[in-house]
C-alpha cells in the first residue's frame, strides 16, 4: 500500500511582475520582481505550496535549482521527513552554493513540505508548528520608498496614513540622499507619526565604511528610531557590530542571510540586536526555527523580513518573535497579486489565518498572466 505522504511530483515556475512605478532603495532601483513558486504533491493528492523572491531579474536561476538539483531527491520520499529531506538537499547542493539562488530554492521546497503537512493535518501552519499567539500578531507598516518627486511632505502624508489605519509602527527607507536631505525625511516622518509610534529606518546596505555610516546615524538619533536596518553589506558583520557599539539605535539585519552558521556569527559578534531572518531566504521554515531558537538563547528578537503571508505564521509560533513586516498595498511586494486570500489587518495587528496550511492558494490565472515559464 502506497504511503499517503509519498511525494509524487515536484513542480516549479518563474513569475515576473512589473512594478507599477520604478522604485528606489539606497543603492538600487527596481522595475520588476521575480518569484519562484513551487508545488509538491503527495500520494493522497495533498498539495503543499512554496515560494521565494528571486530578485529583480534572473529569478529563473532559482527555478532551475528546484528542477535540476532538488526535485529528483524529493520524489518518492515521505513529505513527513522534513528535517531529513532538508539535510539531504543541503548536503547535495554544497558545490552549487550555500546561499543565494540555491538556498532560496531549498527554502521554497521546505516551505511547501511544511504547508503540505499542515494541510494534511487540517491545521493552520502556525498551530501545526506549535502556536504561541492566539488570534493576532503585531505588524508594522513597511513603506517610505524613494520615488521620483516624493518630497518629505509626501513621505509624511504616507506614514501618517499608516498610523490613521491603526499601525503603531512604521518603516521608511534611508541612505540614498545627502545628510541634510536624509535628516529632513526622517524628521518629517517622526513629526507625522508622533512620539508614541515606532519608527524603523531601513538603509538597504547603504554604507561601505563606519565613519560614513556614523555621519548619517548621528543625524537620525534625535528622532528616536526603533532600529537602523542593514547599514552595511550583509557580509560586513564586523562593521555591524562596531556600529551597534557606537549608536543608541538598535541594529537590525539578517534578511539576506542564509544558514544558521552565518546567523550564529552575527549573534556572537553582536552585529544584530534584532534578527530579520527570512524563511524564504535562510533555508526555509526548518532553518528559521533553528535560528530563532539560537537567537532566543541570547535574548535576541526575531522580526522576519517580507512575505507577511508566510511570516504571520512564524511570528505566531515563535516565542521570541515580535513583528510581521506588512505591506499595505501591492506596489512593492506584488507577490500578493498571486494569492487568492489576503491577510486581515485589525488595529495594528494581523489576524492569524485559521485555514489549513499557509492559508491561501495560488491564483492560477494570475500565475499564467505573469509567468515566464510553465509548470514543470
Per residue in 123-161, pLDDT tens? Answer: 999 999 998 888 999 999 999 999 999 999 999 999 999
Looking only at the bridges linking them, the beta strands covering 301-302 and 324-326 are unpaired
- Contact 371/13 with Cβ under 8 angstroms? yes
* Residue 2 in this model has a pLDDT that exceeds 90: no
Contacts 24+ apart (CB under 8 A), 241-248: 241/269, 241/270, 241/271, 242/210, 243/210, 243/213, 243/214, 243/217, 244/270, 244/271, 244/272, 244/273, 245/270, 246/210, 246/214, 247/214, 247/217, 247/218, 247/221, 248/221
Instruction: Give burial (CB, 10 Å; 0-12/13-18/19+) of 147.
Output: middle
* Residue 1 in this model has a pLDDT that exceeds 70: no
Residues in the chain: 376
- pLDDT given at position 27: 85
Confidence of residue 97 (pLDDT cuts 50, 70, 90): confident
The Cα–Cα gap between 83 and 289 comes to 11
Q: What is the pLDDT of residues 322-345, one digit of tens each?
A: 999 999 999 999 999 999 999 999
For the chain, give the percent of residues with pLDDT over 70: 100
- pLDDT given at position 40: 98
Cell numbers that stand for 90 in this block = 543541503
- pLDDT given at position 95: 93
- pLDDT given at position 26: 85
Other Cβ atoms closer than 10 A to 134: 9
Q: What is the pLDDT of residues 166-191, one digit of tens each?
A: 999 999 999 999 999 999 999 999 99
Confidence of residue 122 (pLDDT cuts 50, 70, 90): very high
Compute the mean pLDDT over every residue in the chain, rounded to the nearest whole number.
Answer: 97
- pLDDT given at position 133: 82
Q: What is the pLDDT of residues 289-317, one digit of tens each?
A: 999 999 999 999 999 999 999 999 999 99
- Contact 326/287 with Cβ under 8 angstroms? no
Q: For residue 62, give the nearest of 105, 17, 12, 19 by alpha carbon.
A: 105
The Cα–Cα gap between 269 and 235 comes to 13
Q: For residue 352, give the nearest of 304, 286, 303, 308 by alpha carbon.
A: 308
Q: What is the pLDDT of residues 252-276, one digit of tens each?
A: 999 999 999 999 999 999 999 999 9
Q: Degrees (nearest 5) of the Cα angle 111, 28, 170?
A: 65
Q: What is the mean pLDDT of residues 226-247?
A: 98
| Cα 351 from chain centroid (whole Å) | 18
Backbone phi, psi, residue 32, to 5°: -155, 160
* Residue 59 in this model has a pLDDT that exceeds 70: yes
Q: What is the pLDDT of residues 4-48, one digit of tens each?
A: 999 999 999 999 999 999 998 888 899 999 999 999 999 999 999
Looking only at the bridges linking them, the beta strands covering 251-253 and 345-346 are unpaired
Amino acid at each position: 500500500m502506497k504511503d499517503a505522504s509519498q511525494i509524487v511530483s515536484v513542480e516549479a515556475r518563474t513569475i515576473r511582475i512589473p512594478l507599477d512605478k520604478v522604485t528606489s532603495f539606497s543603492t538600487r532601483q527596481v522595475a520588476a520582481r521575480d518569484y519562484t513558486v513551487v508545488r509538491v504533491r503527495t500520494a493522497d493528492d495533498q498539495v503543499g505550496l512554496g515560494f521565494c523572491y528571486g530578485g529583480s531579474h534572473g529569478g529563473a536561476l532559482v527555478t532551475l535549482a528546484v528542477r535540476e538539483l532538488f526535485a529528483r531527491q524529493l520524489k518518492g520520499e515521505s513529505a513527513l521527513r522534513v528535517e531529513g529531506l532538508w539535510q539531504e538537499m543541503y548536503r547535495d547542493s554544497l558545490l552549487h552554493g550555500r546561499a543565494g539562488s540555491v538556498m532560496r530554492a531549498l527554502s521554497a521546497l521546505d516551505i511547501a513540505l511544511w504547508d503540505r503537512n499542515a494541510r494534511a493535518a487540517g491545521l493552520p501552519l502556525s498551530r501545526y508548528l506549535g502556536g504561541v499567539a492566539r488570534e493576532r500578531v503585531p505588524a508594522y507598516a513597511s513603506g517610505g520608498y524613494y520615488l521620483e518627486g516624493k518630497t518629505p511632505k509626501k513621505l509624511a502624508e504616507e506614514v501618517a496614513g499608516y498610523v490613521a489605519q491603526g499601525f503603531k509602527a512604521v518603516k521608511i527607507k534611508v541612505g540614498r540622499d545627502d545628510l541634510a536631505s536624509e535628516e529632513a525625511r526622517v524628521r518629517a516622518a517622526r513629526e507625522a507619526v508622533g512620539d508614541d509610534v515606532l519608527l524603523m529606518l531601513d538603509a538597504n546596505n547603504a554604507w561601505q565604511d563606519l565613519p560614513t555610516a556614523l555621519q548619517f546615524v548621528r543625524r537620525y538619533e534625535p528622532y528616536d528610531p526603533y532600529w537602523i536596518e542593514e547599514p552595511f553589506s550583509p557580509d560586513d558583520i564586523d562593521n555591524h557590530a562596531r556600529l551597534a557599539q557606537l549608536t543608541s539605535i538598535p541594529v537590525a539585519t539578517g534578511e539576506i542571510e542564509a544558514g544558521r552558521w552565518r546567523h550564529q556569527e552575527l549573534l556572537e559578534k553582536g552585529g544584530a540586536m534584532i534578527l530579520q531572518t527570512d524563511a524564504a531566504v535562510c533555508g526555509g521554515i526548518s532553518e528559521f526555527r533553528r535560528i530563532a531558537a539560537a537567537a532566543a538563547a541570547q535574548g535576541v528578537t526575531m522580526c522576519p523580513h517580507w512575505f507577511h503571508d508566510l511570516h504571520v505564521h512564524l511570528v505566531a509560533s515563535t516565542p521570541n518573535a515580535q513583528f510581521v513586516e506588512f505591506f499595505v498595498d501591492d506596489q512593492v511586494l506584488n507577490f500578493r497579486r498571486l494569492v487568492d486570500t489576503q491577510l486581515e489587518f485589525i488595529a495594528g495587528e494581523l489576524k492569524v489565518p485559521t485555514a489549513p496550511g499557509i492559508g491561501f492558494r495560488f491564483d492560477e490565472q494570475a500565475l499564467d498572466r505573469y509567468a515566464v515559464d510553465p509548470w514543470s
